[in-house]
Amino acid sequence: MSKSPTSVVILGGGIGGVVAAREVRSAIPADTRVILVDRQPIQSFPPSYTWVMTGQRQPAAISRDLRGLRRKGIEVVEGSASTVDVAGRRISGEGFEVAFDYLVVALGAELAPEAVPGLAGEAFSYYRLADAERLRDELETFNGGKVALLIPSLPYKCPAAPYEGAMLLDALFRNRGIRNRVELSLSTPEPQPLPVAGSALGQAVVSMLERKEIAYHPQRKTTEIDRAAREIVFEDGAREAYDLLIAVPPHRPPAIVRESQIAGPAGWAKVDSGLLLTDAPQVYAIGDVTAIPLFDGMMLPKAGVFAHAEANVVAHNIAAEIRGDDERRRFDGHGYCFLEVGGGKAASANGDFYGQPRQVAMKDPTRLRRLGKMLFERWWLWKWY
Ligand SMILES: Cc1cc2nc3c(=O)[nH]c(=O)nc-3n(C[C@H](O)[C@H](O)[C@H](O)COP(=O)(O)OP(=O)(O)OC[C@H]3O[C@@H](n4cnc5c(N)ncnc54)[C@H](O)[C@@H]3O)c2cc1C
């Protein structure tokens, strides 16, 4: 009897999943199946959501159809997975079941605005494409008042995104000539911007916010949104009024991972920090769905750049194992991000997040770096779909 072909299943086709699927496909024989499962075939590029918010990008320009990967030999299954059965080596959802020899869990983080009383339906956001479009429409008719940006809870993906959003809103209101009628603030439970990147970088971002007259309120834990009063209520009893509330929705591990054998204590996938292997053989997890502690107890940020690098490592190692090669790679914790600051400029931060001590340095905002950010977006959308 012939043995059924080996199958590599990638669960989640976002930033990490699409890279893992493409890379593993290109490195293993054609008779090995690569199956990509996602509930949402149309994918979009999250780093560009702030440009959707400001009207600088149309959603279609940053969206791609995963089903196009079928042309490249990847089986794309459209469906919402509800169970990962590690022991039985299969995943299933309504109307489908997929068996795996190798599994890469790349499910990202679940957004849960309902976790903060009063937030859902009251706050705008740019953490999903449709939400960024809604906020763009709201901003088009906004004529002045108190704009409160809120990070209600940790962790959240892309530590720079709320700061970038605040500075791009500042620029938008200036361009419209209404900045003098807008009070802009940012409140967060963090002690400083991007705490994992160190105090010098945090202070540099605080100085940028000050120069742009964006009021910054660190160490504020949100307890609820008082919709009637249109105020944010913080744990210490402080309140902040708003006319327009823009929030980072609380993040939590996807239910399917929380309820699986690969979950760590907080419900995120527990992995080896170099190989991204879970405790289950041939089951990997990458990207936002993981929680990777750093040497001082802080966590590796949830960011696409890490999901991408981890996907490369995992794809390489799975392919090597299938081919019978010995060479294994390890994710080394290096990453970078852009921080757009308005006025056509972007800064960048670059670092070794596994370093002891961690070394993360920021480069000043320039037009060239913003061009780099735009080119990266174009390259990404061309390269992976
Ligand atoms: C506004 C914004 C700006 C950002 N800017 C940057 C940046 O400049 N640089 C950077 O590095 N990162 C940035 N990020 C973060 C980056 O987008 C994420 O860290 C990255 O997408 C994580 O990749 P992932 O593969 O782990 O998860 P995701 O990209 O979130 O993909 C998860 C996939 O799993 C699918 N899925 C979930 N549950 C199921 C299920 N039950 N069944 C089937 N499919 C499922 C989803 O549909 C999704 O396609 C930004 C994020 C936002 C919101």
CA distance 210 to 203: 10
Strands (E) in 188-320, as ranges, are 214-217, 222-226, 231-234, 239-241, 244-247, 251-252, 283-285
- For ligand 1, atom 20, which residue shows the shortest CA distance? 304
CA distance 247 to 127: 9
- For ligand 1, atom 5, which residue shows the shortest CA distance? 47
Give tens-digit pLDDT for 72-92. 999 999 999 999 999 999 999
**Statement to judge: residues 142 and 233 lie in one domain:** yes
Report the separation in Å between the CA atom of 97 and the middle of ligand 1, taken as the mean of its atom positions.
Answer: 23
Start-to-end CA span in the chain (Å) = 37
Ligand 1 near 165 CB (within 6 A): no
**Statement to judge: residues 194 and 241 lie in one domain:** yes
Report the separation in Å between the CA atom of 108 and the middle of ligand 1, taken as the mean of its atom positions.
Answer: 5
User: Which pLDDT score is estimated for 5?
Assistant: 76
Q: What is the pTM of this model?
A: 0.97
CA distance 306 to 285: 12
The answer to whether residue 190 is domain-embedded is yes
Last residue of a domain, one of 310, 332, 354: 332
Give tens-digit pLDDT for 202-235. 999 999 999 999 999 999 999 999 999 999 999 9
Report the separation in Å between the CA atom of 180 and the middle of ligand 1, taken as the mean of its atom positions.
Answer: 35
Domain residue limits at 68: 7-109+253-332
**Statement to judge: residues 245 and 262 lie in one domain:** no
Residue 225 bridge partners (DSSP) = 232
Does 357 sit behind a cis peptide bond, omega within 30 degrees of 0 on the bond before it?
Answer: yes
**Statement to judge: residues 79 and 18 lie in one domain:** yes
User: Which pLDDT score is estimated for 1?
Assistant: 44
Which amino acid does the sequence have at 308?
H
Domain count, the chain: 2
Report the separation in Å between the CA atom of 188 and the middle of ligand 1, taken as the mean of its atom positions.
Answer: 21
Say which residues have a Cβ less than 8 Å from residue 53's Cβ, sequence separation at least 6.
Answer: 126, 132, 135, 136, 139, 165, 168
**Cα–Cα–Cα angle for 302, 277, 382, rounded to 5 degrees:** 55
- For ligand 1, atom 49, which residue shows the shortest CA distance? 14
**CATH number assigned to the domain comprising residue 64:** 3.50.50.60
Ligand 1 near 256 CB (within 6 A): yes
* Parts of the chain with a pLDDT under 50: 1-2
**Statement to judge: residues 219 and 127 lie in one domain:** yes
User: Which pLDDT score is estimated for 275?
Assistant: 98
Report the separation in Å between the CA atom of 64 and the middle of ligand 1, taken as the mean of its atom positions.
Answer: 14
CA distance 341 to 364: 10
DSSP-based three-state secondary structure for 331: coil
**Statement to judge: residues 125 and 244 lie in one domain:** yes
- For ligand 1, atom 4, which residue shows the shortest CA distance? 47
Last residue of a domain, one of 250, 280, 299: 250
Closest ligand 1 atom to Cα of 108: 27
